[in-house]
Structure 1
Amino acid sequence: MLTVIELVLPLVLLVLITLPLIKVFKGKTTVESARKRLLTHISGFFSIIAFVFVFQMIFSPALQAAEGDVASIAGTMAQGLGFISAALSTGMSALGAGIAVAAAAPAAIGAFSENEKNFGKALIFVALGEGVAIYGILISILIINKL
């Protein structure tokens, strides 16, 4: 069962994160003010994330286990960070592959339209961009297998 602080703290943090951007959403601010608000928003976000990590480390019951016990990471912050790292490796590699294919595919089509013999050479560069996504998925599978 969740305690009151575990229910209220995320709501308070969510309000604090979105608070600097209210005037930006309403359209009642200048560009310079919007930049300042965005920097405030980003710095507030990362400071809140750091606070949550410190709060979790201090009050986590998994960290208060006896030293003689062999602790598993099931349900701990370490497992959560492992899943986040697996998701980031897949997501960022897919984003990088999309950028690579977006640059290579039009060039390959242009090279093919000028000379039909360039098809094989151009296709290799498009496939190299897709390889980045495959490597990211492989890394995320290895991370999840370690959890």
Structure 2
Amino acid sequence: MNVIIYLLPLLAIILLSMPLIPVYRGVTTGVKAKRAVIFNIAAFFGVCLIAILLPFGGLLSAAETANAAAAAGSSAGLGYLAAALVTSVSCIGAGIAVAAAAPAAIGAFSEDPKAFGKALIFVALGEGIALYGLLISILILNKI
């Protein structure tokens, strides 16, 4: 019984990551793309099935998880983990956005010096993602 409690969430994580496999392989057209769509639909319905079976199977009840969380004192730890994840993922996203926008802005500025203001706006929008993540992590830390 305890093994099922750990395997079902692991299965849900695997099913949620399944749509990334065709993206990683670079599948865009043809028969492989049709298989990728079927792959994504199967993963979606698999996650839906697990979400339906967990509460009805009696494997996890809200009272048990609340008591276990209160006993372990993990709510503060999960809050710190959430704040760290928000900050790190938003900074990675901002880095990807700036890595794409900054070279294009430099290229546009080298061809037309009047385009500097417009190009700078796109680079600043990418940096805004990191600021939003930092703001959300500060709000999370204030609730702990």
TM-score by length of 1: 0.53
Partners of 2:71 and 2:138 in 1: CA distance: 18
Secondary structure class of the residue paired with 2:60: helix
Contact 1:13 1:48 (8 Å CA) reproduced: no
Which residue is equivalent to 1:132?
A: 129
Q: 107-116 or 87-96: which moved more?
A: 87-96
Amino acid at match of 1:40: F
**2: CA distance between counterparts of 1:96 and 1:16?**
24
Alpha-carbon separation, structure 1, partners of 2:118 and 2:8: 55
SS in structure 2 opposite 1:10?
helix
Q: 1:41 to 1:106 in 2, by over 3 A?
A: farther
Contact 1:73 1:79 in 2 (8 A): no
Aligned to 2:143: 146
In the other structure, the counterpart of 1:75 is 73
Gaps of 5+ in 1: 25-29, 64-71
Q: Residue 83 of structure 2 contacts residue 136 of structure 2 at CA under 8 Å; is this kept in 1?
A: yes
What aligned pairs does 1:1-147 form with structure 2 within 5 A after superposition?
Answer: 5=2, 9-15=5-11, 31=35, 33-47=38-52, 55-59=60-64, 60-61=66-67, 75-76=73-74, 78-79=75-76, 82-83=79-80, 85-87=82-84, 89-91=86-88, 93-94=90-91, 96-98=93-95, 100-116=97-113, 118-119=115-116, 122-147=119-144
What is the Cα deviation at residue 130 of structure 1?
A: 0.7
From the CA coordinates, give the structure whose radius of gyration is larger: 1
1:128 is displaced (CA, Å) by 3.2
Cα RMSD after superposing both structures: 4.3
Deviations 1:90-133 (A, max 9, x none): 35533553454355324312211213454465334313321220
Q: Which amino acid aligns with 2:112?
A: N
**Per the alignment, in what secondary structure is the counterpart of residue 55 of structure 1?**
coil
Offset, 1:75: 1.5
| AA partner of residue 34 (structure 1) | F
5+ long unaligned stretches in structure 2:
22-33
Cα deviation for residue 136 of structure 1 reads 0.8
Contact residue 18 and residue 41 of structure 1 kept, 8 A: no
